[in-house]
Chains A and B, each alone.
Chain A
Amino acid sequence: MWSVAISAFGISIRTRWRDKKLVVSGTTSHAMVGDVFVAPLEVAYPYKRTVGTLLSRFFTSLSECRLEGTRGSDGRVYFPPAEFDPLTGAQLSEWVSLSDTGTVSTWAWQATPVEGQPLAHPFAWALITIDGADVPMLHAVDAGSPENIAIGTKVKVRWAEDRPGGVTDIACFDVVGGAS
């Protein structure tokens, strides 16, 4: 991922591009399975696209360790920010700075993580309502064990060391005052 500042009409616009690469691989090596020869198949779409004005600002803020949401027509604050009002379809422009803590509204325990998920050891998926926001987001909580998490548990962002701009700039969430 890379970004570039464009100056036009006295306004500096920061645009970000993102590598789009989705890889799904069922088998990893050539093998005989019974009497059938199996070959690996990797699906990849190696193209770049601009993520647009809203995501550019959002991903920039994440890479700088800040959380920002947008306010909808009914006053609700969306995090991650919504570009268009889910109720009216209007473009949203009011940004709201948020803290890096939140509350779990539902959770599930991933006992056997899959490669590429936020954590390599058992963790909780959760919908987390960031303090100051009204609509929860999906992320991972490094809770250690399912006994350490419940609906209502307070959590705090753990920033990734490498932050190219994206939802994975948040490595995961930690339980506040607790156990991981």
Chain B
Amino acid sequence: MALRDIAIVGTAQRPSEMNSTFTSVEILLPVIQQLLDKVGIERSEIGFWCHGSCDYMSGQPFSFVSAVDAIGAWPPIIESHVEADGAFALYEAWVKIQTGEVDVALVFSNGKTTSGPIDQILSLQTDPYMVAPLKPGFDALAALQARACLEAGVVTERQMAEVAARSRRDAHNNAIAFTKGNESADDLLAMPYTLNPLRAHDCATPVDGCNAVVLAAGDVARRLVERPAWIRGIDHRIDTQRLGARSMIESSSAAIAAQKAGVAKDRIDVAELHAPYTHQELLLRNAMGLGESTHINPSGGALVANPAMAAGLARFAEAAESIFAGSADRVLAHCTSGPMLQQNLVCVMEGE
């Protein structure tokens, strides 16, 4: 079966904030309205709605259902939800359009990350008998991975600081970003360890945020935007949940996903990598074979604004915008999930 041509045709993001007192519906509603206005379509033209969020963050089972208020459920709509980052909702929407059942889908995600101790909340997704009872935070698990990489010589502390310095600098150009700075790598290396071998700047800033994108097929996409970001390859791979059985110094699932998504077929101009820790960006670049010719995370990346469950879809939005603007022809968007890069979703998009 030939695959349909499907593209991202519009994106909208809410600027990051902390300790937001708005509900999920209140933060989503204006972003979705803004997106519909930007793309120039009515709600009735959306054939499928797909949402990514995490009930553990709001502390209420099925709390995601209330988000339907932000999209409107009358007349009846077809919608779905993933208990995951919105990037995985985008994958589901892509499959839905591939079935031929619908031509246009709206994907949205939200995370009120600062409402609770996100480091501990995310740890609840680890093995419930062998790992979760010890209550390791995600930062601690990432720190174990970073130490293994440092000892093996796969990364250096200076390279990690350089990733942070570049991301904080680039954040100045992004209205969505939260953490901004002009420190040099030397300045950052002079900072104390927070979770040795990690320093504060090695860990992403948890923020509240949300975003949405519209996907459309074929000529519908061409009608909605001048230069659609065509999805040429998309693939999702998972490493074993058993932390000790994984390689700490490479990301095999990211490498396979990149290969299946066709990353190496041509030059990648811009790669938006969802790397919540500095050493993980370096691991992902190695796994995907991204070299000097690729501009990594011009948005500042998840390091400077990490709304849990929305930071991956934000990478898709940022990468697609560079196609719309004509500043890039072939881009990569990536989303990770789980501790220590357990899951990796890789997507290659091109302009025409």
Contacts and interface: CB of A to CB of B under 8 A. Distances in A.
A26 B124 contact: no
B72 interface: no
Contacts of B195: 108-111
B195 to A, nearest CB: 6
Nearest to A105: B148
A44 B241 CA distance: 24
Interface in B104-120: 115-117, 120
Interface string B57-92: 001100000000000000000000000000000000
Given A24-B56, A126-B144, A167 B133 contact: yes
B147 A107 contact: yes
A24 B136 contact: no
Contacts of B44: none
Q: Is the interface of A mostly helix, strand, loop or mixed?
A: strand
Nearest to A117: B135
B184 interface: no
Contacts of B136: 117, 125, 138
Interface stretch (B164-172, B242-250, B341-349): B242-250
Given A106-B248, A167-B129, A167-B130, A127 B243 contact: yes
Interface string B183-197: 000000000011111
B154 interface: no
A166 B130 CA distance: 8
Nearest to B192: A111
B143 interface: yes
A10 interface: no
Given A108-B195, A126-B144, A167-B130, A24 B135 contact: no
A168 B115 contact: no
A107 B131 CA distance: 15
A114 B134 contact: no
A26 B134 contact: no
A20 B19 CA distance: 30
B137 A55 contact: no
B59 A24 contact: yes
A144 B145 CA distance: 21
Interface string A89-124: 000000000000000011111110010111000000
B46 interface: no
Size band of the interface chain B makes with A: 35 or more
B67 to A, nearest CB: 18
Nearest to A113: B135
B134 A118 contact: yes
B198 interface: yes
Contact of A24 (B116, B146, B196, B245): B116
B129 A166 contact: yes
A82 B242 contact: yes
Interface of B: 19, 21, 56, 59-60, 115-117, 120-121, 124, 128-137, 140-141, 143-148, 151, 193-198, 240, 242-245, 248
Given A86-B240, A106-B151, A135-B244, 9 more contacts: A22-B132, A105-B148, A114-B117, A114-B120, A116-B135, A117-B135, A125-B144, A126-B144, A138-B243
22 contacts: A18-B129, A24-B56, A24-B59, A24-B116, A26-B115, A33-B19, A41-B59, A78-B245, A86-B240, A106-B147, A106-B248, A108-B143, A109-B143, A111-B193, A114-B117, A114-B120, A114-B135, A125-B144, A135-B244, A138-B131, A138-B134, A151-B151
Interface of A: 18, 20, 22, 24-26, 33, 36, 41, 43, 51, 55, 78, 80, 82, 86, 105-111, 114, 116-118, 125-127, 129, 135-140, 146, 151, 166-168
